[in-house]
A and B are shown apart, each in its own frame.
Chain A
Amino acid sequence: MAKPVENSTASAQAKTVIEGRDVGKTFGGGAVIALEGANFTVAEGSFVSLVGPSGCGKSTLLRLIAGLIDRTSGSLTVHGRDITGPHTDVGMMFQRATLLEWRTAIENVLLPIEIQRSVTSADKARAAELLAMVGLKDFAFSFPSQLSGGMQQRVALARLLQTGADILLMDEPFGALDEFTRERLNLELMRIVSEVGATTLFVTHNILEAIFLADEVMVMTPRPGRLARMVHVPFARPRTPELTLTPEFNALVAEVRDILGTH
Protein backbone atom coordinates (compact mmCIF):
# COMPACT_ATOMS: atom_id res chain seq x y z
CA MET A 1 0.00 0.00 0.00
CA ALA A 2 1.19 3.46 0.85
CA LYS A 3 4.91 3.98 0.75
CA PRO A 4 6.35 6.55 3.11
CA VAL A 5 7.24 9.73 1.30
CA GLU A 6 10.96 9.87 0.88
CA ASN A 7 11.18 13.62 0.39
CA SER A 8 10.36 14.48 3.96
CA THR A 9 8.48 17.59 3.10
CA ALA A 10 9.43 20.00 5.80
CA SER A 11 13.10 19.39 5.17
CA ALA A 12 14.96 22.64 4.65
CA GLN A 13 16.53 21.60 1.34
CA ALA A 14 13.15 21.02 -0.44
CA LYS A 15 12.72 23.32 -3.40
CA THR A 16 10.15 26.09 -3.33
CA VAL A 17 7.55 25.68 -6.11
CA ILE A 18 5.07 28.42 -5.28
CA GLU A 19 6.05 31.73 -3.78
CA GLY A 20 3.76 34.64 -2.95
CA ARG A 21 4.95 38.07 -1.79
CA ASP A 22 2.32 40.54 -0.57
CA VAL A 23 -0.23 39.02 -2.90
CA GLY A 24 -3.44 41.03 -2.96
CA LYS A 25 -6.66 40.83 -4.90
CA THR A 26 -9.58 43.21 -4.96
CA PHE A 27 -12.82 42.94 -6.90
CA GLY A 28 -15.11 45.64 -8.22
CA GLY A 29 -12.34 48.20 -8.63
CA GLY A 30 -11.19 47.93 -5.02
CA ALA A 31 -14.66 47.69 -3.47
CA VAL A 32 -14.15 44.12 -2.24
CA ILE A 33 -10.81 43.14 -0.78
CA ALA A 34 -10.70 39.39 -1.26
CA LEU A 35 -7.09 38.87 -0.28
CA GLU A 36 -4.48 41.13 1.23
CA GLY A 37 -0.75 40.90 1.86
CA ALA A 38 -0.37 37.16 1.55
CA ASN A 39 3.20 35.94 2.03
CA PHE A 40 3.90 32.25 1.68
CA THR A 41 6.03 29.59 0.11
CA VAL A 42 5.07 26.07 -0.80
CA ALA A 43 7.79 23.41 -0.89
CA GLU A 44 7.97 20.84 -3.64
CA GLY A 45 5.99 17.69 -2.92
CA SER A 46 4.38 19.09 0.19
CA PHE A 47 0.74 18.92 1.09
CA VAL A 48 -0.62 22.28 2.21
CA SER A 49 -4.12 22.73 3.63
CA LEU A 50 -5.93 26.06 3.55
CA VAL A 51 -8.48 26.56 6.31
CA GLY A 52 -10.61 29.52 7.15
CA PRO A 53 -14.22 30.64 7.23
CA SER A 54 -16.22 31.30 4.05
CA GLY A 55 -15.22 34.39 2.15
CA CYS A 56 -11.69 34.64 3.49
CA GLY A 57 -10.17 34.31 0.03
CA LYS A 58 -9.21 30.66 -0.18
CA SER A 59 -10.73 30.12 -3.61
CA THR A 60 -9.35 33.44 -4.73
CA LEU A 61 -5.84 32.37 -3.77
CA LEU A 62 -6.14 29.12 -5.72
CA ARG A 63 -7.49 30.91 -8.79
CA LEU A 64 -4.62 33.39 -8.58
CA ILE A 65 -2.12 30.55 -8.51
CA ALA A 66 -3.86 28.91 -11.49
CA GLY A 67 -3.64 32.22 -13.35
CA LEU A 68 -7.40 32.26 -13.87
CA ILE A 69 -7.61 35.75 -12.38
CA ASP A 70 -4.96 38.46 -12.14
CA ARG A 71 -3.67 39.68 -8.82
CA THR A 72 -3.97 43.37 -8.06
CA SER A 73 -0.76 43.60 -6.06
CA GLY A 74 2.36 41.70 -5.01
CA SER A 75 4.26 39.01 -6.80
CA LEU A 76 3.37 35.37 -7.35
CA THR A 77 5.57 32.76 -8.98
CA VAL A 78 5.27 29.09 -9.82
CA HIS A 79 8.56 27.27 -10.46
CA GLY A 80 10.14 30.71 -10.30
CA ARG A 81 8.07 31.97 -13.25
CA ASP A 82 5.75 34.93 -12.90
CA ILE A 83 2.10 34.01 -13.37
CA THR A 84 0.47 35.99 -16.16
CA GLY A 85 -2.39 33.74 -17.22
CA PRO A 86 -3.71 30.17 -17.20
CA HIS A 87 -0.86 27.67 -17.27
CA THR A 88 -0.63 23.91 -17.27
CA ASP A 89 1.73 23.54 -14.28
CA VAL A 90 -1.40 23.29 -12.15
CA GLY A 91 -4.53 21.16 -12.27
CA MET A 92 -7.77 22.01 -10.54
CA MET A 93 -10.55 20.25 -8.73
CA PHE A 94 -13.71 21.79 -7.28
CA GLN A 95 -16.41 20.99 -4.78
CA ARG A 96 -18.63 19.94 -7.68
CA ALA A 97 -17.11 17.24 -9.84
CA THR A 98 -17.60 19.47 -12.96
CA LEU A 99 -17.64 16.43 -15.22
CA LEU A 100 -19.17 16.63 -18.68
CA GLU A 101 -22.31 14.54 -18.40
CA TRP A 102 -22.22 13.55 -22.09
CA ARG A 103 -18.84 11.82 -21.71
CA THR A 104 -18.07 8.52 -20.06
CA ALA A 105 -15.75 8.50 -17.05
CA ILE A 106 -12.68 7.66 -19.10
CA GLU A 107 -13.54 10.24 -21.77
CA ASN A 108 -13.79 12.79 -18.99
CA VAL A 109 -10.36 11.80 -17.75
CA LEU A 110 -8.97 12.26 -21.25
CA LEU A 111 -10.51 15.72 -21.69
CA PRO A 112 -7.42 17.72 -20.66
CA ILE A 113 -5.32 15.84 -23.23
CA GLU A 114 -7.92 16.32 -25.95
CA ILE A 115 -7.91 20.04 -25.32
CA GLN A 116 -4.19 20.22 -25.97
CA ARG A 117 -3.45 17.64 -28.64
CA SER A 118 -4.71 14.43 -30.15
CA VAL A 119 -5.04 11.49 -27.81
CA THR A 120 -2.50 8.67 -28.18
CA SER A 121 -2.88 5.08 -27.07
CA ALA A 122 -0.39 5.82 -24.29
CA ASP A 123 -2.76 8.51 -23.00
CA LYS A 124 -5.59 6.02 -23.06
CA ALA A 125 -3.56 3.49 -21.13
CA ARG A 126 -2.64 6.14 -18.61
CA ALA A 127 -6.30 7.15 -18.21
CA ALA A 128 -7.29 3.55 -17.56
CA GLU A 129 -4.45 3.24 -15.05
CA LEU A 130 -5.54 6.41 -13.23
CA LEU A 131 -9.13 5.23 -13.04
CA ALA A 132 -7.87 2.01 -11.52
CA MET A 133 -5.78 4.03 -9.08
CA VAL A 134 -8.86 5.91 -7.85
CA GLY A 135 -10.73 2.61 -7.59
CA LEU A 136 -12.98 2.93 -10.64
CA LYS A 137 -11.53 0.21 -12.83
CA ASP A 138 -14.98 -1.21 -13.57
CA PHE A 139 -16.66 2.12 -14.17
CA ALA A 140 -14.57 3.49 -17.01
CA PHE A 141 -17.51 3.56 -19.39
CA SER A 142 -20.15 4.76 -16.98
CA PHE A 143 -21.57 8.22 -17.46
CA PRO A 144 -21.30 10.70 -14.58
CA SER A 145 -25.01 10.54 -13.77
CA GLN A 146 -24.67 6.80 -13.29
CA LEU A 147 -22.06 7.35 -10.57
CA SER A 148 -22.46 8.38 -6.95
CA GLY A 149 -21.15 11.74 -5.75
CA GLY A 150 -18.03 10.15 -4.29
CA MET A 151 -17.33 8.26 -7.50
CA GLN A 152 -17.76 11.42 -9.53
CA GLN A 153 -15.13 13.10 -7.40
CA ARG A 154 -12.84 10.14 -7.98
CA VAL A 155 -13.22 10.67 -11.72
CA ALA A 156 -12.44 14.35 -11.22
CA LEU A 157 -9.34 13.35 -9.29
CA ALA A 158 -8.23 11.01 -12.07
CA ARG A 159 -8.79 13.80 -14.57
CA LEU A 160 -6.73 16.12 -12.41
CA LEU A 161 -3.88 13.62 -12.39
CA GLN A 162 -4.18 13.06 -16.14
CA THR A 163 -3.25 16.68 -16.75
CA GLY A 164 0.26 15.70 -15.66
CA ALA A 165 0.41 18.88 -13.61
CA ASP A 166 2.76 18.63 -10.64
CA ILE A 167 0.74 21.09 -8.57
CA LEU A 168 -2.76 20.05 -7.55
CA LEU A 169 -5.20 22.81 -6.54
CA MET A 170 -8.18 21.33 -4.76
CA ASP A 171 -11.01 23.62 -3.66
CA GLU A 172 -13.06 21.79 -1.02
CA PRO A 173 -13.07 18.73 -3.26
CA PHE A 174 -14.93 16.47 -0.87
CA GLY A 175 -16.94 19.18 0.85
CA ALA A 176 -20.27 18.04 -0.57
CA LEU A 177 -19.83 14.37 0.33
CA ASP A 178 -21.01 12.51 3.38
CA GLU A 179 -18.65 12.00 6.31
CA PHE A 180 -17.81 8.35 5.58
CA THR A 181 -17.11 8.86 1.92
CA ARG A 182 -15.06 11.91 2.70
CA GLU A 183 -12.87 10.09 5.21
CA ARG A 184 -12.24 7.25 2.77
CA LEU A 185 -11.40 9.63 -0.02
CA ASN A 186 -9.08 11.61 2.23
CA LEU A 187 -7.08 8.48 2.99
CA GLU A 188 -6.92 7.54 -0.67
CA LEU A 189 -5.97 11.06 -1.63
CA MET A 190 -2.99 10.91 0.72
CA ARG A 191 -1.89 7.62 -0.80
CA ILE A 192 -2.33 8.80 -4.40
CA VAL A 193 -0.65 12.13 -3.89
CA SER A 194 2.41 10.52 -2.34
CA GLU A 195 2.43 7.95 -5.13
CA VAL A 196 2.57 10.61 -7.85
CA GLY A 197 4.69 12.94 -5.73
CA ALA A 198 2.67 16.06 -6.48
CA THR A 199 2.56 19.34 -4.59
CA THR A 200 -0.96 19.85 -3.25
CA LEU A 201 -2.98 22.85 -2.08
CA PHE A 202 -6.13 21.63 -0.42
CA VAL A 203 -8.91 23.98 0.68
CA THR A 204 -11.24 22.86 3.44
CA HIS A 205 -13.58 24.16 6.12
CA ASN A 206 -12.77 21.28 8.36
CA ILE A 207 -9.88 21.86 10.76
CA LEU A 208 -9.41 18.17 11.59
CA GLU A 209 -9.26 17.24 7.94
CA ALA A 210 -6.86 20.08 7.24
CA ILE A 211 -4.38 18.95 9.86
CA PHE A 212 -4.77 15.25 9.21
CA LEU A 213 -3.86 15.58 5.55
CA ALA A 214 -1.24 18.27 5.59
CA ASP A 215 2.42 18.99 6.12
CA GLU A 216 1.58 22.67 6.52
CA VAL A 217 -1.72 24.36 7.36
CA MET A 218 -2.30 27.86 6.05
CA VAL A 219 -4.76 29.46 8.41
CA MET A 220 -6.69 32.31 6.83
CA THR A 221 -8.95 34.93 8.38
CA PRO A 222 -11.58 37.10 6.71
CA ARG A 223 -12.41 40.75 6.15
CA PRO A 224 -10.11 41.32 4.44
CA GLY A 225 -8.77 37.88 3.52
CA ARG A 226 -5.44 37.46 5.27
CA LEU A 227 -3.02 34.67 5.76
CA ALA A 228 -2.87 34.57 9.54
CA ARG A 229 -0.25 31.92 10.06
CA MET A 230 1.39 28.76 8.72
CA VAL A 231 1.14 25.85 11.15
CA HIS A 232 3.61 23.03 10.69
CA VAL A 233 2.24 19.48 11.08
CA PRO A 234 5.04 17.20 12.24
CA PHE A 235 3.35 13.79 12.19
CA ALA A 236 4.99 10.98 10.24
CA ARG A 237 3.43 9.29 7.25
CA PRO A 238 1.63 7.11 6.45
CA ARG A 239 -1.02 8.38 8.82
CA THR A 240 -4.03 6.49 10.05
CA PRO A 241 -7.35 7.82 11.42
CA GLU A 242 -6.20 6.91 14.93
CA LEU A 243 -3.85 9.88 14.73
CA THR A 244 -6.82 12.19 15.24
CA LEU A 245 -7.33 10.73 18.71
CA THR A 246 -3.84 11.56 19.99
CA PRO A 247 -3.24 14.50 22.37
CA GLU A 248 -0.56 15.91 20.05
CA PHE A 249 -3.05 16.06 17.20
CA ASN A 250 -5.67 17.70 19.36
CA ALA A 251 -3.20 20.23 20.65
CA LEU A 252 -2.64 21.25 17.04
CA VAL A 253 -6.39 21.45 16.45
CA ALA A 254 -6.69 23.71 19.48
CA GLU A 255 -3.87 25.88 18.15
CA VAL A 256 -5.57 26.37 14.79
CA ARG A 257 -8.93 27.02 16.48
CA ASP A 258 -7.21 29.60 18.57
CA ILE A 259 -5.75 31.42 15.58
CA LEU A 260 -9.10 31.44 13.84
CA GLY A 261 -10.92 32.55 16.96
CA THR A 262 -8.63 35.29 18.16
CA HIS A 263 -8.24 37.13 14.92
Chain B
Amino acid sequence: MHNDQNRMFWILRAAPHLLLLAAILAAWEGAVATGLITTIMIPRPSAIGGAIVELYVTKGTIYEHFFITLTEAVVGFGIGAAVAIALAVSSSLSENFGRYVSPYAVVLNVTPGIALTPIIIAWFGYGMGSKIALAAVICFFPIFVNTLTGLRQTDEDREELFRSFGASQRQVFMQLRVPAALPLMFAGLKIGLTTALIGAVVAEFAQATAGVGVLMSRFSFSLNMASSLATLLSMTLIGLLLFYTMEFLDDRIVFWRREARMAAVSRARARAWKSGAAH
Protein backbone atom coordinates (compact mmCIF):
# COMPACT_ATOMS: atom_id res chain seq x y z
CA MET B 1 0.00 0.00 0.00
CA HIS B 2 2.91 2.21 0.60
CA ASN B 3 3.95 1.62 -2.99
CA ASP B 4 0.49 2.46 -4.24
CA GLN B 5 0.68 5.78 -2.52
CA ASN B 6 3.99 6.39 -4.13
CA ARG B 7 2.58 5.56 -7.53
CA MET B 8 -0.34 7.89 -7.02
CA PHE B 9 2.07 10.61 -6.08
CA TRP B 10 4.06 10.13 -9.26
CA ILE B 11 0.97 10.06 -11.44
CA LEU B 12 -0.24 13.27 -9.85
CA ARG B 13 3.13 14.87 -10.42
CA ALA B 14 3.49 13.70 -13.99
CA ALA B 15 -0.09 14.53 -15.02
CA PRO B 16 0.34 18.28 -15.68
CA HIS B 17 3.48 17.60 -17.70
CA LEU B 18 1.75 14.99 -19.81
CA LEU B 19 -1.24 17.23 -20.30
CA LEU B 20 0.98 20.05 -21.48
CA LEU B 21 2.80 17.73 -23.86
CA ALA B 22 -0.50 16.42 -25.23
CA ALA B 23 -1.78 19.96 -25.71
CA ILE B 24 1.34 20.99 -27.59
CA LEU B 25 1.20 17.93 -29.81
CA ALA B 26 -2.50 18.44 -30.53
CA ALA B 27 -2.02 22.09 -31.41
CA TRP B 28 0.90 21.19 -33.63
CA GLU B 29 -1.02 18.42 -35.35
CA GLY B 30 -3.97 20.74 -35.85
CA ALA B 31 -1.83 23.52 -37.22
CA VAL B 32 -0.31 21.25 -39.84
CA ALA B 33 -3.63 19.59 -40.69
CA THR B 34 -5.43 22.88 -41.20
CA GLY B 35 -2.59 24.25 -43.28
CA LEU B 36 -1.48 26.83 -40.70
CA ILE B 37 2.05 25.45 -40.89
CA THR B 38 3.18 24.40 -44.31
CA THR B 39 6.95 24.16 -44.20
CA ILE B 40 8.47 20.76 -44.73
CA MET B 41 10.61 21.47 -41.71
CA ILE B 42 7.79 20.61 -39.35
CA PRO B 43 6.14 17.25 -39.99
CA ARG B 44 3.01 16.35 -38.07
CA PRO B 45 3.42 14.62 -34.72
CA SER B 46 1.37 11.74 -36.11
CA ALA B 47 3.84 11.39 -38.98
CA ILE B 48 6.72 11.36 -36.51
CA GLY B 49 4.85 8.78 -34.47
CA GLY B 50 4.38 6.67 -37.58
CA ALA B 51 8.07 6.94 -38.41
CA ILE B 52 8.98 5.91 -34.87
CA VAL B 53 6.74 2.87 -35.09
CA GLU B 54 8.22 1.92 -38.43
CA LEU B 55 11.86 2.42 -37.42
CA TYR B 56 11.64 0.95 -33.95
CA VAL B 57 8.88 -1.63 -34.21
CA THR B 58 7.64 -2.86 -37.56
CA LYS B 59 10.88 -2.69 -39.54
CA GLY B 60 13.27 -2.29 -36.65
CA THR B 61 15.85 -0.65 -38.93
CA ILE B 62 17.19 1.54 -36.18
CA TYR B 63 18.72 -1.14 -33.98
CA GLU B 64 21.65 -2.10 -36.17
CA HIS B 65 22.65 1.56 -36.47
CA PHE B 66 21.94 2.24 -32.83
CA PHE B 67 24.36 -0.44 -31.67
CA ILE B 68 27.05 0.59 -34.12
CA THR B 69 27.01 4.20 -32.90
CA LEU B 70 26.77 3.11 -29.29
CA THR B 71 29.77 0.82 -29.71
CA GLU B 72 31.81 3.53 -31.42
CA ALA B 73 31.06 6.04 -28.67
CA VAL B 74 31.71 3.62 -25.82
CA VAL B 75 34.93 2.13 -27.23
CA GLY B 76 36.21 5.59 -28.15
CA PHE B 77 35.35 6.83 -24.70
CA GLY B 78 37.11 3.85 -23.10
CA ILE B 79 40.32 4.51 -25.02
CA GLY B 80 40.21 8.28 -24.49
CA ALA B 81 39.44 7.90 -20.78
CA ALA B 82 42.19 5.32 -20.21
CA VAL B 83 44.83 7.52 -21.82
CA ALA B 84 43.52 10.64 -20.08
CA ILE B 85 43.52 9.04 -16.64
CA ALA B 86 46.94 7.46 -17.13
CA LEU B 87 48.42 10.80 -18.18
CA ALA B 88 46.67 12.67 -15.37
CA VAL B 89 47.95 10.21 -12.78
CA SER B 90 51.50 10.42 -14.15
CA SER B 91 51.31 14.20 -14.23
CA SER B 92 50.15 14.35 -10.65
CA LEU B 93 52.84 11.92 -9.48
CA SER B 94 55.71 13.59 -11.27
CA GLU B 95 55.85 17.34 -11.33
CA ASN B 96 58.33 17.24 -14.21
CA PHE B 97 56.21 14.95 -16.32
CA GLY B 98 53.20 17.16 -15.72
CA ARG B 99 55.13 20.28 -16.57
CA TYR B 100 56.45 19.02 -19.90
CA VAL B 101 53.20 17.35 -20.98
CA SER B 102 50.90 20.26 -20.16
CA PRO B 103 51.67 22.48 -23.20
CA TYR B 104 50.58 19.65 -25.51
CA ALA B 105 47.43 19.13 -23.47
CA VAL B 106 46.68 22.83 -23.81
CA VAL B 107 47.23 22.69 -27.58
CA LEU B 108 44.90 19.72 -27.79
CA ASN B 109 42.35 21.58 -25.72
CA VAL B 110 42.22 24.73 -27.80
CA THR B 111 42.13 22.85 -31.13
CA PRO B 112 38.55 22.01 -32.05
CA GLY B 113 38.86 18.22 -32.18
CA ILE B 114 36.05 18.09 -34.73
CA ALA B 115 38.43 19.72 -37.24
CA LEU B 116 40.37 16.48 -37.33
CA THR B 117 37.37 14.57 -38.72
CA PRO B 118 38.47 14.41 -42.38
CA ILE B 119 42.05 13.57 -41.47
CA ILE B 120 41.06 10.86 -39.02
CA ILE B 121 38.80 9.35 -41.65
CA ALA B 122 41.70 9.39 -44.10
CA TRP B 123 43.87 7.66 -41.51
CA PHE B 124 41.44 5.11 -40.13
CA GLY B 125 39.12 4.49 -43.07
CA TYR B 126 35.38 4.62 -43.55
CA GLY B 127 34.57 1.97 -40.96
CA MET B 128 34.14 2.11 -37.22
CA GLY B 129 37.84 2.72 -36.57
CA SER B 130 37.71 6.37 -37.56
CA LYS B 131 34.59 7.01 -35.46
CA ILE B 132 36.23 5.41 -32.44
CA ALA B 133 39.37 7.44 -32.99
CA LEU B 134 37.53 10.74 -33.23
CA ALA B 135 35.45 9.92 -30.14
CA ALA B 136 38.64 9.09 -28.23
CA VAL B 137 40.41 12.28 -29.30
CA ILE B 138 37.63 14.65 -28.41
CA CYS B 139 36.68 13.07 -25.08
CA PHE B 140 40.28 13.07 -23.87
CA PHE B 141 40.65 16.59 -22.56
CA PRO B 142 37.73 17.04 -20.15
CA ILE B 143 38.64 13.75 -18.47
CA PHE B 144 42.33 14.59 -18.31
CA VAL B 145 41.88 18.04 -16.88
CA ASN B 146 39.26 17.06 -14.30
CA THR B 147 41.22 14.07 -13.07
CA LEU B 148 44.40 16.10 -12.83
CA THR B 149 42.66 18.95 -11.03
CA GLY B 150 41.14 16.46 -8.63
CA LEU B 151 44.43 14.75 -7.92
CA ARG B 152 46.22 18.05 -7.42
CA GLN B 153 43.77 19.33 -4.83
CA THR B 154 45.72 19.33 -1.65
CA ASP B 155 44.36 19.58 1.80
CA GLU B 156 47.32 20.59 3.96
CA ASP B 157 45.74 19.50 7.22
CA ARG B 158 44.80 16.07 5.98
CA GLU B 159 48.21 15.50 4.42
CA GLU B 160 49.85 16.47 7.69
CA LEU B 161 47.54 14.15 9.52
CA PHE B 162 48.57 11.27 7.26
CA ARG B 163 52.21 12.09 7.74
CA SER B 164 51.76 12.25 11.49
CA PHE B 165 50.43 8.67 11.28
CA GLY B 166 53.64 7.74 9.45
CA ALA B 167 51.87 7.18 6.11
CA SER B 168 53.96 6.47 3.02
CA GLN B 169 53.62 8.49 -0.19
CA ARG B 170 51.74 5.59 -1.66
CA GLN B 171 49.28 5.49 1.21
CA VAL B 172 48.68 9.23 0.95
CA PHE B 173 48.02 8.82 -2.75
CA MET B 174 45.79 5.77 -2.59
CA GLN B 175 43.85 6.57 0.55
CA LEU B 176 43.63 10.33 0.40
CA ARG B 177 44.32 11.83 -3.02
CA VAL B 178 42.51 9.29 -5.19
CA PRO B 179 39.24 9.16 -3.24
CA ALA B 180 39.27 12.94 -2.90
CA ALA B 181 39.71 13.22 -6.69
CA LEU B 182 36.89 10.85 -7.59
CA PRO B 183 33.99 13.35 -7.60
CA LEU B 184 35.79 15.66 -10.04
CA MET B 185 36.99 12.73 -12.11
CA PHE B 186 33.45 11.49 -12.52
CA ALA B 187 32.29 14.95 -13.54
CA GLY B 188 34.95 14.81 -16.26
CA LEU B 189 33.94 11.31 -17.31
CA LYS B 190 30.34 12.43 -17.73
CA ILE B 191 31.33 15.33 -19.95
CA GLY B 192 33.68 13.03 -21.85
CA LEU B 193 30.99 10.47 -22.52
CA THR B 194 28.71 13.10 -24.07
CA THR B 195 31.60 14.39 -26.14
CA ALA B 196 32.51 10.90 -27.32
CA LEU B 197 28.99 10.45 -28.68
CA ILE B 198 29.28 13.74 -30.56
CA GLY B 199 32.57 12.55 -32.04
CA ALA B 200 31.06 9.30 -33.25
CA VAL B 201 28.03 10.99 -34.80
CA VAL B 202 29.98 13.76 -36.52
CA ALA B 203 32.40 11.25 -38.03
CA GLU B 204 29.39 9.36 -39.32
CA PHE B 205 28.03 12.51 -40.94
CA ALA B 206 31.30 13.06 -42.70
CA GLN B 207 31.79 9.59 -44.10
CA ALA B 208 30.34 6.26 -43.10
CA THR B 209 28.18 3.39 -44.19
CA ALA B 210 26.33 2.66 -40.96
CA GLY B 211 25.32 4.28 -37.70
CA VAL B 212 22.57 6.66 -36.62
CA GLY B 213 24.49 9.61 -38.06
CA VAL B 214 24.35 8.03 -41.51
CA LEU B 215 20.68 7.27 -41.14
CA MET B 216 20.03 10.82 -40.04
CA SER B 217 21.78 12.38 -43.06
CA ARG B 218 20.09 9.98 -45.41
CA PHE B 219 16.60 10.79 -44.14
CA SER B 220 17.31 14.51 -43.97
CA PHE B 221 18.54 14.79 -47.49
CA SER B 222 15.66 12.82 -48.89
CA LEU B 223 13.53 15.38 -46.99
CA ASN B 224 11.97 12.66 -44.90
CA MET B 225 11.76 14.86 -41.82
CA ALA B 226 9.57 12.54 -39.81
CA SER B 227 12.04 9.67 -40.02
CA SER B 228 14.90 12.06 -39.45
CA LEU B 229 13.35 13.21 -36.17
CA ALA B 230 12.63 9.61 -35.25
CA THR B 231 16.34 8.91 -35.76
CA LEU B 232 17.26 11.92 -33.65
CA LEU B 233 15.31 10.28 -30.87
CA SER B 234 17.68 7.33 -30.99
CA MET B 235 20.59 9.69 -30.36
CA THR B 236 18.76 11.10 -27.38
CA LEU B 237 18.26 7.56 -26.18
CA ILE B 238 21.95 6.73 -26.57
CA GLY B 239 22.77 9.95 -24.77
CA LEU B 240 20.41 9.14 -21.92
CA LEU B 241 21.63 5.55 -21.72
CA LEU B 242 25.27 6.64 -21.49
CA PHE B 243 24.52 9.44 -19.07
CA TYR B 244 22.51 7.33 -16.69
CA THR B 245 25.04 4.50 -16.78
CA MET B 246 27.69 6.96 -15.71
CA GLU B 247 25.34 8.49 -13.17
CA PHE B 248 24.76 5.02 -11.75
CA LEU B 249 28.50 4.34 -11.43
CA ASP B 250 28.99 7.77 -9.92
CA ASP B 251 26.27 7.00 -7.43
CA ARG B 252 27.85 3.66 -6.47
CA ILE B 253 31.47 4.74 -6.36
CA VAL B 254 31.21 8.29 -5.06
CA PHE B 255 28.44 7.31 -2.68
CA TRP B 256 29.44 9.83 -0.03
CA ARG B 257 28.13 12.65 -2.19
CA ARG B 258 24.53 11.39 -2.11
CA GLU B 259 22.36 11.38 0.99
CA ALA B 260 20.35 8.30 0.09
CA ARG B 261 23.28 6.18 -1.02
CA MET B 262 25.27 7.20 1.99
CA ALA B 263 22.51 5.99 4.31
CA ALA B 264 22.38 2.66 2.46
CA VAL B 265 26.15 2.16 2.58
CA SER B 266 26.14 3.14 6.22
CA ARG B 267 23.58 0.42 7.03
CA ALA B 268 25.44 -2.17 4.96
CA ARG B 269 28.70 -1.47 6.74
CA ALA B 270 27.05 -1.67 10.14
CA ARG B 271 25.64 -5.10 9.21
CA ALA B 272 28.98 -6.31 7.86
CA TRP B 273 30.70 -5.14 11.02
CA LYS B 274 28.25 -6.94 13.25
CA SER B 275 28.44 -10.21 11.34
CA GLY B 276 32.24 -9.89 11.40
CA ALA B 277 32.17 -9.39 15.16
CA ALA B 278 29.93 -12.44 15.58
CA HIS B 279 32.55 -14.77 14.07
Contacts and interface: CB of A to CB of B under 8 A. Distances in A.
Interface of A: 63, 66, 68, 86-88, 90-92, 94, 96, 98, 100-102, 104, 106-107, 111-112, 114-116, 121, 124, 140-143, 145-146, 163
Given A115-B171, A143-B262, A143-B266, A91 B157 contact: no
Given A68-B163, A112-B165, A145-B262, A124 B277 contact: yes
Interface in B1-16: none
B105 interface: no
Interface string B235-274: 0000000000000000000111000001101110110010
B160 A92 contact: yes
Q: How large is the interface on B (under 10, 10 to 19, 20 to 34, 35 or more residues)?
A: 20 to 34
Specify which of A68, A121, A124 lies most central, judged by the most chain B CB atoms within 10 Å of its CB. A68
Contact of B164 (A86, A104, A107, A143): A86
Contacts of B254: 102
B269 A141 contact: yes
Contact of B266 (A111, A114, A124, A146): A146
Contacts of B165: 88, 111-112, 115-116, 163
Contacts of B182: 102
B155 interface: yes
Nearest to B263: A146
Given A115-B171, A143-B266, A146-B266, A101 B162 contact: no
Nearest to A113: B165
Interface of B: 155, 157-158, 160-167, 171, 175-176, 179, 182, 254-256, 262-263, 265-267, 269-270, 273, 277
B164 A91 contact: yes
A104 B269 contact: yes
A98 B256 contact: no
Given A98-B157, A143-B266, A146-B262, A66 B273 contact: no
A98 B158 contact: yes
A104 B273 CA distance: 12
A143 B266 CA distance: 7
Contact of A116 (B160, B166, B175, B256): B166
B161 A102 contact: no
A8 to B, nearest CB: 30
A141 B166 contact: no
B176 to A, nearest CB: 7
Contacts of A87: 166
B161 A98 contact: yes
A186 to B, nearest CB: 21
Contacts of B163: 68, 86
A176 to B, nearest CB: 12
Contacts of A63: 160
Nearest to A104: B269
A68 B266 contact: no
28 contacts: A86-B163, A87-B166, A90-B164, A91-B164, A94-B157, A94-B161, A96-B157, A98-B157, A100-B158, A102-B179, A102-B254, A102-B255, A102-B256, A104-B269, A106-B273, A115-B171, A115-B175, A121-B277, A124-B273, A140-B270, A141-B267, A141-B270, A142-B266, A143-B262, A143-B266, A145-B256, A146-B263, A146-B266
Nearest to B162: A115
A163 B166 CA distance: 11
Nearest to B168: A115
A88 B161 contact: no
Contacts of B166: 86-88, 115-116
